């Protein structure tokens, strides 16, 4: 624990665990306020775990969740109510303590002089100068001046963000570039399917963020609160302001675990798992290894989702493991898909359907997961077939692999950059924002009709980098993105159907068919996925080396 005192009655800290609660009590605190929403991070205990530990220690608790970087007036009022009701002294916590310190600063604004608030938070290690500006400006953050200015600001340091930063620096090493991201760890998310299949270890899919930020790129370790595109400004957590000449938006998407009733409470136990989280993928493999009979359910929500093939990859690798152990005949595999087809590009269906038959899996289309009761081991689905009234069905399970519903992040959906569905609104070829000419977007968050995969980001990053450099030099777009995406469908251990396609489902193979026919399962594709792609990701893509990713040039007709 790292407890920081703001006043005799209120202290703040980064995330605590249930094991820390007894120490909190021993330190003299009488109550705890949680300012971090459940499900925000993979290493985070849920509030109910903290609450149970607090009750056991004789402490009062309150849950006042605040979205990172978005401290609203309602949040401040809720924090004030909690402080009024709880016995003092109180410990408030969030991921880093910043939100809790910000809430306290606003709460104290009409009670003590501003210099006292700034001094107290500074002594605790929190810079509230941005908050001071917001308070002095009637509750709004002034964006006419900023805390920092860069030629290019990139929001998000995932696969897309780091790749485009590296590609920009490869084109102009003197370019002033900043990347905004609060995360300490960067994940190779395509590897989580392999973790869930017992092929990779979790540690192979994670590196520290600091080790990956390209040389010469400034890392702003903060969450984004809002965008002010008219002022060329990004407002950060704590109300600091970063100004830009050009902006790239690529924070990824939001896994909406709360969108399924009861799911958050049972994840990681009761046979409920998901390869969409770093900490849960090992549990998938644990369940697969232990299972010898019963029913295994694999779910897929409505599109768009990150890596549309991942839900069935989990099914195939699990079925293969059971087949190799000779227990497959005793396991009932059910694939519950909210959509109406197994895979959206028909050329790959024959190969996939053979594996569905091999594993004797039942395909259930138009089934959307609505609720999970972990203790009862039941899952409830809404069944909405075309031209039929929607119905509901509850199915028992011994194991369920859940792909959660997915949306754009909250701070994107409420921003001026979003379309009606909440995704960043771009031209699908140039990836430039349709309204704001000095803004580009790539990766999972933008609304181009392509597959949301790391392979897509690998192709998009050079396109965005080329077009930004053209814009800096006074030219129109010089590169265009053709919708390329790749989904290595792991149909069994040692074989993959390598789906590569662009806009409209047009096949976009990277290799001649005599070397690798992506429509058929092959060991060559497995070798690519298992052995080649991880180092290509870490050592090429994230370092601006554009192997097989050179951007397509804009032709006259496209202009």
Q: Which two tokens stand for residue 236?
A: 């950060």
For residue 344, the SS3 value is coil
Q: Which residue among 34, 94, 403, 487 is the active-site one?
A: 487
Q: How far apart are CA 161 and CA 443, in angstroms?
A: 8
For residue 103, the SS3 value is helix
Is residue 307 among the annotated active site residues?
A: yes
Question: Residue-wise over 451-468: b if at least 16 C-beta within 10 A, else e?
Answer: bbbbbbbbbbbbbbbbbb
Looking from the CA of 93 toward its CB, the CA atoms found within 13 Å total: 24
For residue 320, the SS3 value is helix
DSSP 531: I
Q: Which two tokens stand for residue 410?
A: 């909250």
Looking from the CA of 145 toward its CB, the CA atoms found within 13 Å total: 5
Q: How far apart are CA 453 and CA 447, in angstroms?
A: 13
**Helices and strands counted in the chain (H then E):** 16, 28
Please provide the DSSP assignment of 218-268 as one string. Answer: EEE-S-EEEEEGGGTEEEETTS-EEEEEEEEE----EE-GGGSBTHHHHTT
Q: Could you report how far apart the first and last alpha carbons of the chain are, in Å?
A: 57
Please provide the DSSP assignment of 429-477 as one string. Answer: TT-BBSS-TTEEE-GGGB-SSS-B-HHHHHHHHHHHHHHHHHHHTT---
Residues 6+ apart with CB under 8 A from 10: 83, 88, 89, 90, 92, 104
Q: Which two tokens stand for residue 428?
A: 């699908």
Nearest Cα residue to 309 out of 288, 330, 337, 290: 337
CB 501, CB 345: distance < 8 Å? yes
CB 532, CB 540: distance < 8 Å? no
Report whether the peptide linkage leading into residue 9 is cis, meaning its omega lies within 30 degrees of zero.
no
Nearest Cα residue to 97 out of 212, 218, 33, 13: 13
Task: Taking each helix axis as running N to C, give the angle between helix 349-358 and helix 310-325, from 0 to 180 degrees, rounded to the nearest 10.
Answer: 40
Nearest Cα residue to 355 out of 485, 489, 451, 487: 489
By DSSP bridging, strand 148-155 and strand 90-93 are: unpaired
Question: How many CB atoms are located within 10 Å of the residue 390 CB?
Answer: 10
Please provide the DSSP assignment of 130-160 as one string. Answer: HHHHHHHTTTS---SS-SEEEEEEEE--SHH
Catalogue the active-site residues: 307, 487
């Amino acid at each position: 624990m790292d407890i920081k005192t703001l006043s005799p009655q209120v202290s703040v800290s980064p995330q605590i665990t249930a094991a820390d609660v007894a120490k909190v009590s021993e330190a003299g605190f009488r109550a705890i306020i949680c300012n971090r929403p459940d499900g925000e991070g993979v290493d985070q205990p849920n509030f109910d775990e903290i609450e149970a530990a607090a009750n056991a220690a004789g402490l009062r608790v309150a849950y006042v969740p605040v979205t990172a970087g978005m401290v609203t007036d309602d949040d401040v009022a809720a924090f004030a109510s909690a402080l009024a009701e709880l016995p003092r002294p109180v410990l408030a916590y969030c991921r880093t303590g910043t939100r809790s310190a910000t809430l306290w600063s606003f709460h104290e604004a009409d009670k003590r002089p501003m210099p006292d608030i700034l001094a107290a938070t500074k002594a605790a290690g929190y810079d509230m100068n941005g908050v001071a500006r917001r308070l002095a400006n009637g509750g709004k953050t002034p964006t006419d001046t900023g805390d920092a200015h860069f030629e290019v600001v990139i929001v998000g340091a995932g696969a897309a963000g780091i790749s485009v930063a590296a590609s920009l620096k490869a084109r102009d090493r003197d370019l002033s570039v900043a990347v905004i991201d609060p995360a300490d760890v960067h994940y190779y998310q395509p590897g989580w399917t392999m973790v869930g299949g017992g092929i990779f270890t979790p540690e192979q899919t994670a590196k520290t963020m600091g080790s990956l930020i390209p040389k010469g790129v400034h890392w702003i370790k903060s969450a984004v609160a809002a965008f002010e595109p008219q002022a060329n400004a990004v407002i950060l957590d704590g109300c600091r302001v970063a100004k830009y000449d050009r902006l790239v938006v690529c924070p990824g998407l939001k896994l909406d675990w709360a969108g399924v009733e009861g799911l958050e409470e049972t994840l990681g136990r009761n046979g409920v798992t998901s390869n969409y989280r770093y900490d849960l993928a090992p549990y998938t493999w644990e369940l697969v290894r232990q299972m010898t009979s019963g029913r295994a359910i694999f779910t897929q929500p409505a599109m768009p989702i990150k890596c549309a093939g991942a839900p069935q990859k989990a099914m195939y690798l699990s079925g293969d493991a059971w087949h190799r152990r000779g227990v497959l005949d005793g396991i009932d595999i059910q694939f519950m898909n909210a959509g109406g087809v197994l895979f959206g590009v028909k050329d790959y269906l024959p190969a996939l359907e053979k594996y569905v038959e091999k594993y004797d899996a039942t395909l259930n289309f138009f089934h959307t997961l609505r609720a999970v009761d972990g203790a009862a081991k039941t899952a409830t689905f809404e069944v909405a077939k075309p031209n039929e009234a929607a119905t509901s069905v509850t199915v028992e399970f011994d194991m369920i692999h859940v792909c959660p519903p997915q949306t754009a992040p909250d701070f994107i959906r409420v921003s001026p950059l979003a379309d009606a569905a909440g995704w960043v609104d771009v031209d699908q070829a140039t990836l430039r924002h349709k309204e704001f000419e000095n803004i580009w977007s790539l990766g999972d968050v933008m609304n181009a009709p392509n597959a949301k995969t790391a392979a897509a980001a690998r192709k998009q990053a050079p396109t965005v980098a080329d077009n930004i450099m053209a814009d800096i030099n006074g030219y129109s777009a010089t590169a265009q993105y053709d919708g390329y995406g790749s989904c290595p469908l792991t149909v069994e251990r040692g074989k993959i159907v390598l789906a590569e396609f662009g806009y409209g489902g047009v096949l976009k193979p990277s290799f001649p068919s005599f070397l690798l026919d992506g429509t058929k399962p092959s060991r060559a594709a497995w070798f690519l996925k298992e052995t080649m792609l991880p180092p290509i990701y870490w050592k090429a893509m994230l370092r601006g080396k554009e192997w097989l990713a050179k951007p397509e040039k804009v032709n006259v007709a496209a202009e």
